[in-house]
Amino acid sequence: MIDISDIKLSNAQIAWRAAQDIQDGAYVNLGIGFPEMVASYQPEGREVIFHTENGVLGFGAAPAPGEEDWDLINAGKKAITQKPGTSFFHHADSFAMVRGGHLDVAILGAYQIAQNGDLANWSTGKGGIPAVGGAMDLVQSAKRVAVVTDHITKKGDPKLVESCTMPLTGVGCVTRIYSSLAVVDIANNRFVLREKIPAISLDDLQALTGAELYTNEGVDDLICPEDLL
Amino acid sequence: MDITVATPREVIQQIPDGATVMIGGFGGSGAPIELVHALIDHGAKHLTVVNNNAGNGHVGLAALIEQGQVDKLICSFPRSADPTVFVEAYKANKIALEIVPQGTLAERIRCGGAGIPAFYTPTAYGTEVAEGKPVEEFEGRPYIRERWLKADYALIKGDVGDRHGNMTYRMAARNFNPIMATAAKVTIAQVSRVVDAGGIDPEHVVTPGIFVNHLVEIANPAQEEELNRAEAVYP
């Protein structure tokens, strides 16, 4: 199997690519950790309103160290700031925004994504203590659910699979995957390859993917800024 | 009417063994640390606690678990920067855990306070969380039935309160506090400042006083995050 360690996109590059698809005026929820990086790469001239499920819309960047106000945090329990246009609300309202279909985009991480759009990202199913947070609400009800992820696991197993073997977060919910090698849509229960990095061949990409990649609608080069590490 | 009391102790001491207690907050933000510590001092045991998380470090909810006072925790996300106390209690089978998706937890609490015994949600359909729950289709889409969640007591934290129990909150510290206030038989609130009736603009009231039974002023309340950075341990 080919070694992709030198050619795959960095997390910052994946986040940059995901950010390009977020339209001006969109209401967006970013998962804890890697997906939060998407906020750093909004194209100039677009105003995106970020939602954090603990009860803030339109928050600002992290404060300088020492200036944290611990009443003002995001879903990852990290300090954030308010800015003109920020609003606060309680948890039932926050999840009415989610469940009621008011969020335009949710971007999450993934353990596995199946070709029918099933997502597993909350429990490896190997014991340990389960923790779900707001993921099951977000994936079932945001207007568009996308995933940012490495294309394969650290062990080299595909994360894009025929059907998930890990416990599901939601069924048939993901419509686009931004991976370290490609941009893949899910349509009609199959993976449709939209873009791939030029450094990998179609055959090698298919070998690293656990279900068939459909390419008959044309595949573009996935080019990200080089200086994002 | 004046529902204010001078100290947490005088109202917390009515909480009996075996009570179900909702504790507000999301992580440390909006967590009523002083009320929880008064519950530790009081010593009620075999509690069922409803909180989004499972405590962090050795203060607040984590300390309540560490003291062996909690038999069962209903939460969405039992992880934190330092979840040691919960993890050890869970692995030793000293505490039961019911995992509820966060939005479902919020809506169960809201329904508990609003007199709605059950509701349908798309959240968790097709996952192991939905096992055994009734499924019904609405407009061609499957939903699962969830039940309300109510408590004997709610311990909540606000910013300003008046002697009727009208309350405001501070930024993201609002989170679960207003809905928990509605879902308990007895709601005990701590606020940073108590004012006379009229001291809060009625347009700014988030929790109307009808949902609050006891109000205690804790000026300069502790922040869980700051206590943990100082490696505080309670008691």
Question: Quick check: A136 contacting B, CB < 8 Å?
Answer: yes
Give the Cα separation of B100 and A31 in Å (integer).
18
Query: Do residues B61 and B85 lie in contact, with contact meaning Cβ atoms separated by under 8 Å?
Result: no
Alpha-helical regions (H) of A21-171: 91-99, 135-141
Cross-chain Cβ contact B125/A55 below 8 Å: no
Tell me the residue type at B145.
R
Strands, sheet with B135-138, edge to edge from the N-terminal-most edge strand:
B118-121, B141-147, B135-138
- Whether residue A180 is predicted with pLDDT greater than 70 in this model: the reply is yes
Cross-chain Cβ contact B29/A94 below 8 Å: no
The set of residues, in sequence order, having a beta carbon less than 8 Å from that of A31 and lying 6+ positions away, is A106, A107, A108, A109, A135, A138
> What mean pLDDT comes out for the span A57-74?
96
Distance from CA of A40 to the nearest CA of B (A): 22
Beta bridge partners of B72: B48, B96
Give the Cα separation of B11 and B92 in Å (integer).
32
CA-to-CA separations, A127 to A69, A82, A124, A174, in angstroms, rounded: 36, 39, 8, 25
Angle between helical axes of A91-99 and B102-114 (0-180°, round to 10): 120
pLDDT number for residue B160: 98
ipTM, 2 dp: 0.96
Cα torsion for B164, B170, B172, B177, to the nearest 10°? -20
B90 vs A contacts (CB less than 8 Å): 129
pLDDT number for residue A229: 67
Question: Quick check: A95 contacting B, CB < 8 Å?
Answer: yes
Catalytic annotation on A53? yes
- A74 to chain B: nearest residue by CA? B172
- Residue A142 CB coordination number (10 Å): 25
pLDDT number for residue A127: 78
Tell me the residue type at B201.
D
Cross-chain Cβ contact A82/B171 below 8 Å: yes
pLDDT digits (tens), chain B, 235 positions: 999 999 999 999 999 999 999 999 999 999 999 999 999 999 999 999 999 999 999 999 999 999 999 999 999 999 999 999 999 999 999 999 999 999 999 999 999 999 999 999 999 999 999 999 999 999 999 999 999 999 999 999 999 999 999 999 999 999 999 999 999 999 999 999 999 999 999 999 999 999 999 999 999 999 999 999 999 999 9
Cross-chain Cβ contact A129/B174 below 8 Å: no
Per-residue model confidence as pLDDT tens digits over A184-219: 999 999 999 999 999 999 999 999 999 999 998 899
B106 vs A contacts (CB less than 8 Å): 90-92, 94-95
pLDDT number for residue A28: 98
Q: At the top level of CATH, which class does the domain B4-118+150-229 belong to? A: alpha beta
pLDDT number for residue A125: 82
Cβ-nearest to A137 among B87, B123, B128: B123
What single-letter DSSP state applies at residue A156? Answer: S
- Whether residue A115 is predicted with pLDDT greater than 80 in this model: the reply is yes
A192, two tokens: 């449709």
Distance from CA of B47 to the nearest CA of A (A): 20
B221 vs A contacts (CB less than 8 Å): none
Q: Which of residues 153-212 of A touch B (CB under 8 A)?
A: 167-171
Peptide bond preceding B235 in cis form (omega within 30 of 0): yes
B104 vs A contacts (CB less than 8 Å): 136-137
pLDDT number for residue A228: 82
Cβ-nearest to B127 among A71, A74, A169: A169
Largest CA distance in chain B: 55
- A73 to chain B: nearest residue by CA? B172
Question: Quick check: A73 contacting B, CB < 8 Å?
Answer: yes
The mean of the pLDDT values for chain A is: 96
Query: Do residues A13 and A224 lie in contact, with contact meaning Cβ atoms separated by under 8 Å?
Result: yes
Query: Taking phi first (over 0 means left), then psi (-120 to 50 degrees means alpha), and beta for anything else, what does residue A188 get?
Result: left
A148 membership: H or E segment, kind and range: strand A144-149
Cross-chain Cβ contact A70/B225 below 8 Å: yes
pLDDT number for residue A120: 97
Per-residue model confidence as pLDDT tens digits over A119-147: 999 988 887 888 999 999 999 999 999 99
Domains of chain A: 11-221 (3.40.1080.10)
Catalytic residue among A44, A47, A53, A195: A53
Beta bridge partners of A144: A105
- Whether residue A107 is predicted with pLDDT greater than 90 in this model: the reply is yes
Q: Provide the percentage of residues in chain A whose pLDDT is more than 70.
A: 100
A113 membership: H or E segment, kind and range: strand A112-114
Among candidate residues A67, A74, A92, A34, the one with its CA nearest the CA of residue B176? A92
End-to-end CA distance of chain B: 34
Q: Which three-class secondary structure string do you get for chain B?
A: CCCEECCCHHHHCCCCCCCEEEECCECCECCCHHHHHHHHHHCCCCEEEECCCCCCCECHHHHHHHCCCEEEEEECCCCCCCCHHHHHHHHCCCCEEEECCHHHHHHHHHHHHHCCCEEEECCCCCCHHHCCCCEEEECCEEEEEEECCCEEEEEEEEEEEECCCCECCCHHHCCCHHHHHHHEEEEEEEEEEEECCCCCCHHHCCECHHHCCEEEECCCCCCHHHHHHCCCECC
Tell me the residue type at B104.
T
Give the Cα separation of A10 and B126 in Å (integer).
33
Among candidate residues B180, B196, B197, the one with its CA nearest the CA of residue B107? B180
Cβ-nearest to B101 among A70, A129, A134: A134
